Amino acid sequence: MLGMSPLAFSSGDPRWATYKQAEDRGWQVRKGERGTAGFFFKRLELRDESRPADDEHAVKRIPLLRAFTLFHASQIDGISDFVPPTIEEAPWRTPEAAAIIIVNSGAVIRVGGDRAFYSLSTDHIQMPPQSAFATAEGYCGTVTHELCHWSGAVKRLNRDLRNRFGSHDYAREELRAELGMLMLCGELGLAISDSEFANNAAYVASWLERLRSDRKEIFRAAADAQRIADYLLAFHPAYANSQAGSPDSMSTADDANAAAAPELMPAAA
């Protein structure tokens, strides 16, 4: 949502801060500026110690949704100018980065036909020839989309991919793959052309009626998409090394984010 904000999208500056984060750094949100809502979602697992460990009811899963207000760097006085990372600082943003991830993932990619898809039964990605795509970006966006599906196999991120075309579960997985692809391409600095993005948006739009039945689904989808992007980005050695000093589990980062989010909202299971 923040990436689609005109403040970030038009400026190329990805930096956001809560009022307190800005204040702690000696910056000042300008008077009259309106904040942008950010959301944090996770599932909390609470164990009932009075029940046997093998009791299926011993663990209660509670969805947690928090909303908090963020301000873009352009709304903050005192913050330094944004300087994009150089290729030396972020080598995963080189043109060959996607190819490095694909090769290191070990994903089996077969070329032929006029359809792109991931086959769960054979655990392979099928792609049309590169010449079938109008642009290199279009090919890259498609293969990373299928790689996002590939990540969901049981031996990887273990999402349920046994879904029939047109079903609700199929729509859920497609949304995760689309968001994951956009997050991955955004981190790699891969531009998705207007025509390619319009096709993707139209594809997801065809399922919106089903998704509207559960207003919290977009938050669950975004959380899953971030896991997909993180999983695939880790196949790039330079990116993996850059994250070595980060918390070694998503839950650690999640708890820190949750603590910083002041407003608690109820979430449906």
The per-residue pLDDT for 33 is 96
In this structure, what DSSP letter does residue 113 have?
S
Tokens 């908090």 sit on residue? 68
Q: What backbone torsions phi and psi does residue 36 show, to the nearest 5 degrees?
A: -120, 135
244 Cβ contact partners less than 8 Å away, ≥ 6 residues apart? none
| Burial of residue 224 (number of CB atoms within 10 Å: 0-12, 13-18, 19+) | buried
The per-residue pLDDT for 194 is 53
Q: What backbone torsions phi and psi does residue 8 show, to the nearest 5 degrees?
A: -90, -40
Which three-class secondary structure state does DSSP give residue 57?
coil
**41-66: b or e for each residue (b if 16 or more CB lie within 10 Å)?**
bbeeeeeeeeeeeeeeeeeeeeebbb
The predicted model scores a pTM of: 0.72
The per-residue pLDDT for 202 is 59
The per-residue pLDDT for 86 is 86
The per-residue pLDDT for 169 is 75
The per-residue pLDDT for 57 is 75
The per-residue pLDDT for 75 is 96
Q: Which residues of the chain have pLDDT under 70?
A: 164-167, 192-207, 209-211, 245-269
The per-residue pLDDT for 138 is 84
The per-residue pLDDT for 91 is 85
The per-residue pLDDT for 73 is 95
